[in-house]
Amino acid sequence: MAQKFELLLEQYRRPNGQRWNGQELQDATGGAVSRSYVSALRKGRIANPRFDKLRALAKAMGFPPELWFGNLDTLRVSVGAKRDEGRGSIAERLDRLFDIVRDDRTGQPYSEEDVARMSAGDLSEEEVEGIRSGHIANPTVDKLLALSEVFEVDPSYFLGREEKPPLLDAEAIRALGDAQSRVILHKSLDLSSGEKDMLIDMIEHLGHLRDANDTA
């Protein structure tokens, strides 16, 4: 819990950009969380804090209370993404994920082979190595989505402010984030133009059937 508190203090700062201290949190919570309680929580002396205390801190600092109970690695990545926002190449950001995220079973960082295996065929070990090293400087969107799924981060983590956005709208990116949709896409690549038209007609027909059932 102490580690999570430190990460939350780093990410959810005061409006002036400074980290909260104990006195400020005591004041912001109206005394619900004392300065000494904040200090004890940061030092790990309170292993199982009461929910009302956590809720008061979350409200004062401006984050949803459920973050207290989230995965620690995911929270580390979230903080790292915010800190690195707008900086770093795709290779550097991927390398940071390798540094931060750990295998739950072993506690060790993932290898490139592990990531390729966890992508269920969407990435080869060579592709992971190429993206991480920067030899593949502009990976395709489906490769970034596969990496996002493996490391459980939002795809936008890989796209900094200085990068040009992909030539896909939000709906297309959301569709590519679905495993079954990606299978349909991959299977359709080798179809002829006429066969693709037939596939589109079938999908539209299924949509009409679904709409009819919804209104029945």
Beta bridge partners of 109: 102
CA atoms within 13 A on the CB side of 136: 16
Q: Which residues of the chain have pLDDT under 50?
A: 84-87, 161-170
Token reading at 199: 């596939």
Q: What local confidence, expressed as pLDDT, does residue 43 receive?
A: 85
Cβ neighbour number for residue 187 with a 10 Å cutoff: 10
Q: What is the pTM of this model?
A: 0.41
From CA 96, how far away is CA 170, in angstroms rounded? 25
Q: What local confidence, expressed as pLDDT, does residue 131 receive?
A: 93
Token reading at 32: 């619900």
Q: What local confidence, expressed as pLDDT, does residue 12 receive?
A: 79
Q: How far is CA 210 from the centre of its chain?
A: 32
From CA 44, how far away is CA 32, in angstroms rounded? 19
Do residues 46 and 40 touch, judged by C-beta distance below 8 A? yes
Q: In the 3-class helix/strand/coil scheme, how is 116-151 assigned residue by residue?
A: HHHCCCCCCHHHHHHHHHCCCCCCCHHHHHHHHHHH
Q: Which residues 6+ apart lie within 8 Å of 101 measured at CB?
A: 73, 76, 77, 109, 110, 151, 152
First to last CA, the chain: 50
How many residues are there in the chain? 216
Output the DSSP codes for 152-167: T--GGGG--TTSPPPS
